[in-house]
Chain A
Amino acid sequence: MSARRLLWWWAGACAAAGIFCAAFEAAQLFWQPAPDPIANRYAPAREALRGAGVAGFLSDDPLDGDAGALRFHRALYGVAPTVLRPNSQERVLLVDLAHPERLARLLTAPDLRLRKDLGNGLAVVEKR
């Protein structure tokens, strides 16, 4: 087999492998259920925080864990152009809970007042 022919076969095999990998990856992505768009959850919070400028963020997921970091990032995008800061020092706070039933317990804190319960574990609270 000549060097030129060998080169053609090599190039063809590489192209076929690449196409197979791309098709496999695309099929995998198609078969996975698509996640809910971020706006589905955070659009009410975005409206409730409009004009606030900056808000703090409270969650029952620790922000240094994967789930908490993902929750914060989705919320950060979901409520923009309000800037979320990952702390509770701001006067207005977005509460984003993985377990909505914990909201009542959170609101027993003496320095927090519920401004709007958005449901599904989301609420806007403010410091007294």
Chain B
Amino acid sequence: MIALVSLALLVSGAVRALAPRDRAFRAAAAALAFGVWCSALGAGVLLQARTAVDLACALAGAALWLIPWRADAPQAAGRASWPMRALVLVNAAGAAAGFIATAHAFPDGGWDATMMWNLRARFFAGDPQPLQLVFDRALYHSGYPLLVSGGVARLWILFGERSWAPLALGAAFAAA
């Protein structure tokens, strides 16, 4: 519950403080806040204080609501031509087909997913684990940034260990 409140406060606070006027910048601000929230779980594991880190996120989000500053959003210049729009659409369709096909062929994800992101997410999502296990030498890339692992673990904590959760996160990252 604290995690969800902290997410709501962070995203709404970031959108309000960073980009109140422009739709694209609002989306970017929300994505930035979501990334901070995902990575914060990793920090919580490192500090062995997940609840305290979630509370800090909630406080940071609340503090953003108190900031009176407004960013001036630049205006978009002109509109894209129709060939460019068509190319972007075809490209997006190709990327979506590739994404779905890859998800079908690798139900657990590729090597990076199973050996880095989702593997470490399993250590974050369950009962608290001793740090020497989370960063055991038998596991790969201990120094890898915690954004993706933290994001997958956040979704697993919220929805249970569903195989669609990492896929949804990957799709969100690709769409961003």
Contact A53 B133, CB 8 Å, known A22-B94, A26-B100, A76-B119: yes
Which A-chain residue is minimally distant from B107 (CB atoms)?
A37
Contact A77 B118, CB 8 Å, known A26-B98, A29-B102, A37-B108: yes
Within 8 A of B (CB), among A53-75: 53-54, 73-74
Contact of A37 among B101, B119, B163 (CB under 8 A): B163
* A34 B138 Cβ-Cβ under 8 A: no
Contact A34 B126, CB 8 Å, known A23-B94, A77-B118, A83-B139: no
* B105 A34 Cβ-Cβ under 8 A: yes
Which A-chain residue is minimally distant from B135 (CB atoms)?
A83
Q: Which residues of A contact B104 (CB under 8 A)?
A: 29-30, 34
Within 8 A of A (CB), among B90-129: 90-91, 94-95, 97-98, 100-102, 104-108, 111, 114-115, 118-119, 122-123, 126, 129
Is B77's beta carbon under 8 Å from chain A?
A: no
Q: Which residues of B contact A74 (CB under 8 A)?
A: 114
A84 to B139, CA, bound (A): 9
Within 8 A of A (CB), among B53-110: 87, 90-91, 94-95, 97-98, 100-102, 104-108
**B49 to nearest A CB, angstroms?**
19
B residues contacting the other copy or chain, number (CB 8 A): 30
Contact A32 B138, CB 8 Å, known A19-B94, A54-B133, A81-B133: no
Within 8 A of B (CB), among A69-104: 73-74, 76-77, 80-81, 83-86
Is B130's beta carbon under 8 Å from chain A?
A: yes
Contact flags (1/0) for B129-148 with A, using CB distance below 8 Å? 11001001011000000000
* A81 B123 Cβ-Cβ under 8 A: yes
Q: Which residues of A contact B107 (CB under 8 A)?
A: 34-37
Q: Which residues of B contact A84 (CB under 8 A)?
A: 138
Q: Which residues of B contact A25 (CB under 8 A)?
A: 98, 101
Which A-chain residue is minimally distant from B139 (CB atoms)?
A83
Contact of A53 among B106, B119, B126, B130 (CB under 8 A): B130
**A59 to nearest B CB, angstroms?**
15
Q: Which residues of A contact B106 (CB under 8 A)?
A: 35
Q: Given A26-B94, A30-B101, A85-B136, 13 other A-B contacts at CB below 8 A?
A: A15-B87, A19-B94, A26-B97, A26-B100, A29-B102, A35-B107, A39-B163, A73-B111, A76-B119, A76-B139, A81-B133, A83-B133, A83-B138
| Residues of A participating in the B interface, judged by any CB pair closer than 8 Å | 15, 18-19, 22-23, 25-30, 32, 34-39, 53-54, 73-74, 76-77, 80-81, 83-86
What are 6 A-B pairs with beta-carbon distances under 8 A? A25-B98, A26-B94, A32-B105, A53-B133, A77-B115, A80-B119
